[in-house]
Amino acid sequence: MSEDVDQEAMMAAWEAETDGGGDNQEEMMAAWEAETEEGGDAEMMAAPSMGNERILNQEEIDSLLGFDFNEDEDGDKNGIRAIINSALVSYERLPMLEIVFDRLVRLMTTSLRNFTSDNVEVSLDSITSLRFGDYLNSIPLPAILAVTRAEELDNYGLMTVDSNLIYSIVDVLLGGRRGTTAMRIEGRPYTTIERVLVQRMIEVVLEDMTAAFEPLTPVNFELDRVETNPRFAAIARPANAAILVKLRVDMEDRGGRIELLLPYATLEPIRKMLLQQFMGEKFGRDNIWEGHLATELWSTRMDVRAILDEMVVPLKQALELKVGDTLLLNAGPDSLVEIRAGDVKLTRARMGRIKHHVAVRMEAPLASSAKQALMRFQS
């Protein structure tokens, strides 16, 4: 019984403490909410100050991104812009190459008109520079890729004919109606007839390319093979730079594109010619002045000396020479003398006399050193 009394007394005391603690808990909750609100206001007040420290000004943003409009375009790039431009290839301006392809456009316009018996207009869209691997990955399929070989340059090029032009050429050559777009059938490989007809057009374009390069340098472009998969048309390493020429062929309401890709390695043997500003430029050489200089050279007077003998004496003995002194030479009456023009040895001759004049008679042909000096002067 005593244990039950004790337990009831403990329960009553616990309930009394709990009831009294409710008010304390409410006070504690109110105080906690007040502190939380004050802490939130404090954090909100501190947040703008912390945000101000993280805000970058425009110069810092431009420096991070690598865009600085005060610098020259040719200057060094940094930041994200340097990463983006690392994959690009700077196009080396080759003035004569642009003239060659302008000539190619005119030749193709005439030859394709004769080939298709239709009104064909060829235009030059752009000349750009890019990586060979990037170009292979960007070729829209299906397409026909023709691997061409430049014999004189001992390297290869690539010609791409897109599907629009392929179907247009097939439609025109097989008697399709004028003024209608060519029908495209996707999802199948090109037939033998389509490949043969397009190959004939490629051979016509290659003949025009040979004629376009003819005034600059003889280059014979020949068809090596025809591919439909870009992986089998690899003529250079993916990282190698190349020049891409895009041509647009229009036949009334039909047409397409022809793209010519020439690696820089292919054009390297004729790079100096492609840097010319006009056809026939000789980089400082002028044929007219060369001819005039050669004509005047033949009429130029030149001092020639006949050397009887040469001897080496001490400087003291040479300074003590006086009028009347005798020098003993290692030459006799029948000895050959050396003919010189300046420091160049011309030939050897024999001394003689004609009337009252001392003369020499040539005894040997012109020396090779003299011929080499003359050739260096002419070059």
Rounded Cα–Cα distance for residues 121 and 172 (Å): 14
Structure tokens given for 314: 């001490």
Among 29-38, 49-58, 217-226, 352-361, which stretch is predicted with the lowest mean pLDDT? 29-38
Average pLDDT over residues 98-117: 91
Q: Is residue 90 over pLDDT 60?
A: no
Rounded Cα–Cα distance for residues 332 and 340 (Å): 19
Amino acid at the residue 263: P
Reported as a pLDDT band with limits 50, 70 and 90, residue 332 is confident
Rounded Cα–Cα distance for residues 183 and 147 (Å): 27
Q: Is residue 22 over pLDDT 70?
A: no
Asked if residues 166 and 149 have their Cβ atoms less than 8 Å apart, the reply is no
Closest-CA residue to 210 (of 199, 223, 200): 223
Structure tokens given for 106: 């005119």
The 120-131 sheet, strands edge to edge: 120-131, 241-251, 254-263, 155-162, 143-150, 221-227
Q: Which residues pair with 147 in a beta bridge?
A: 158, 225
Residues of the chain with CATH 2.30.330.10: 287-378
> How long a stretch of residues is the chain?
379
State residue 59's pLDDT score: 73
Instruction: Specify the 3-state DSSP secondary structure of 185.
Output: coil
Is the overall model pTM greater than 0.75, yes or no? no
State residue 363's pLDDT score: 83
**Which residues neighbour 115 within 8 Å (Cβ) at sequence distance 6 or greater?**
200, 201, 204
What H or E segment, with its residue span, contains residue 172?
Answer: helix 163-173
Of residues 378 and 295, the one with the higher pLDDT is 295
Reported as a pLDDT band with limits 50, 70 and 90, residue 157 is very high
Q: Is residue 47 over pLDDT 50?
A: no
Structure tokens given for 126: 């752009």
Rounded Cα–Cα distance for residues 133 and 145 (Å): 15
- Helices and strands (H, E) in the chain, number of each type: 12, 10
Structure tokens given for 199: 């190959």
State residue 352's pLDDT score: 83
State residue 252's pLDDT score: 79
Structure tokens given for 261: 């890709």
State residue 361's pLDDT score: 85
State residue 278's pLDDT score: 64
State residue 75's pLDDT score: 47
Of residues 161 and 372, the one with the higher pLDDT is 161
State residue 29's pLDDT score: 61
State residue 179's pLDDT score: 57
State residue 364's pLDDT score: 80
The proportion of the chain whose per-residue pLDDT surpasses 90, expressed as a percent, equals 18
Residues of the chain with CATH 3.40.1550.10: 95-274
The answer regarding whether domain 287-378 maps to CATH 3.40.190.10 reads: no
State residue 46's pLDDT score: 44
Rounded Cα–Cα distance for residues 161 and 316 (Å): 87
Q: Is residue 371 over pLDDT 50?
A: yes
Closest-CA residue to 117 (of 260, 256, 259, 252): 252
Q: Which fold has domain 95-274?
A: Chemotaxis protein chec (3.40.1550)
State residue 119's pLDDT score: 87
